[in-house]
Amino acid sequence: MSATRAIIRSASRLASRSNVTMMRHASFSSFTRSTVVIAHPAVSSQSRGIKTLDFGGTQETVYERSDYPKEKLQKIFEKDTFAVIGYGTQGMAQSLNMRDNGLKVIVGLRKDGYSWEQAKKDGWVPGKTLFSIEEAAEKGTVIMNLLSDAAQKDLWPTVKKYVTKGKTLYFSHGFSVVFHEKTGVIPPSDVDVILAAPKGSGATVRSLFLDGRGINSSVAVFQDVSGSARERAFALGVAIGSGYLYETTFEKEVYSDLTGERGVLMGAIQGMFQAQYEVLRSKGHSPSEAFNETVEEATQSLYPLIGGKGMDWMYDNCSTTARRGALDWAPEFYTATKPVFSRLYASVENGTETQRSLDFNSKPDYREAFEKELKEMRESEMWRAGVTVRSLRPENLK
């Protein structure tokens, strides 16, 4: 594509002032011969230590990991035992990060299940740091409910018995509390209820922590009985592996999260990829060309540029033809998709998405049904073509 070739030429010219490096590589089709890699720019002194920052004209307060060094975390939580209930990707990552931060952490799971065995492999010891859900919830002063949304609904009658006066109830998603009429999760009135929601998968939460970086997360307080819930929420956000945190509410967290997942983060992007791929194929383009022009160039060349310096910078470093076309067609896609996003948000806000999720994920065979849908996606021509394209990346060549 001419956009990629123009970026390559422009990146070469701008290398010295933009901190851009270029790596030559072979490609599956002739649309590109190089990938542009943006090195992480040095963080300006203005962005460190300033708590109120300008986000597109709106002033917001941001908390950073440096505000809560390890010693401070250990002091704040010196009397606490964190009972992590659930060991999915978030439960695993957050518990391990807190343990590495020197906090007292125990894990509560169904005994002898898959997660129980995985927890043992990660160093949690039955009877010492690994317990049944009931035992862990009873021992914990901070009960971290990191079960799946459907499991939170099903197991709340078990967990709530141990959410007693003076404890803290923690979530990483506002789902169960916000949609309490559907889940039955109504926190007692005599406990703090807080949230720290990493903006990424548990695998990323863990890997960024181990890299010495940290993921961005939102923090919210639903109920402050102790008077210190807000401070503890931000501190706990850092303890689980966050690099910086911004404040929200339980409602806004769940509405934005569900909208994003169904929208541009996952649902919309698959739908748009599939639509463009099918149009190209219907017009006689080969699978390799259709995939490269739809997915590979986006994920390997253009998206990293957007992530590094923004959409305008990526546009500014494309060919004039690509730039003009993108600017002309962006309003078309905006007009076409905004009504869809409005319907999506309404479906989230009115609880339709919640009910759909609970209904599906509460079925005894939901894993098998989910795998069937993923299998259909995985075996579609587009993603089978993608397997071959990815195999030809330089890092995958033997």
Question: 97-117: b or e for each residue (b if 16 or more CB lie within 10 Å)?
Answer: bbbebebbbbbbbeeeeebbe
**Backbone torsions φ then ψ of 18, nearest 5 degrees:** -110, 0
Are residues 131 and 162 in contact, defined by beta-carbon separation less than 8 angstroms? Answer: no
Q: Computed from CA positions of residues 117, 122, 128, 132, in that sequence, does the dihedral angle turn out positive or negative?
A: negative
User: Which residues, including other chains, have CB under 8 Å from residue 198's CB and lie 6 or more apart?
Assistant: 90, 93, 94, 172, 204, 205, 215, 216, 217, 240, 241, 242
Q: Which helix (H) or strand (E) holds 39?
A: none
Q: How many CB atoms lie within 10 A of CB 120?
A: 14
Give 20's strand partners. 38
Q: How far apart are CA 245 and CA 235, in angstroms?
A: 10
User: Which residues, including other chains, have CB under 8 Å from residue 158's CB and lie 6 or more apart?
Assistant: 133, 134, 137
User: Which residues, including other chains, have CB under 8 Å from residue 293's CB and lie 6 or more apart?
Assistant: 1, 31, 276, 280, 285
Q: Find, among 130, 223, 216, the residue nearest to 170 by Cα.
A: 223
Q: How far is CA 347 from the centre of its chain?
A: 21
CA dihedral (307, 313, 314, 315) in degrees, to 10, reads 140
Are residues 63 and 125 in contact, defined by beta-carbon separation less than 8 angstroms? Answer: no
Residue 285 among the catalytic residues: no
Q: Computed from CA positions of residues 82, 85, 87, 89, in that sequence, does the dihedral angle turn out positive or negative?
A: negative
Q: Which helix (H) or strand (E) holds 220?
A: strand 215-223
Catalytic residue from among 25, 40, 173, 285: 173
Q: How far apart are CA 309 and CA 385, in angstroms?
A: 30
CB half-sphere exposure, 151, CA atoms < 13 A? 12
Looking at the annotation, which residues are catalytic? 173
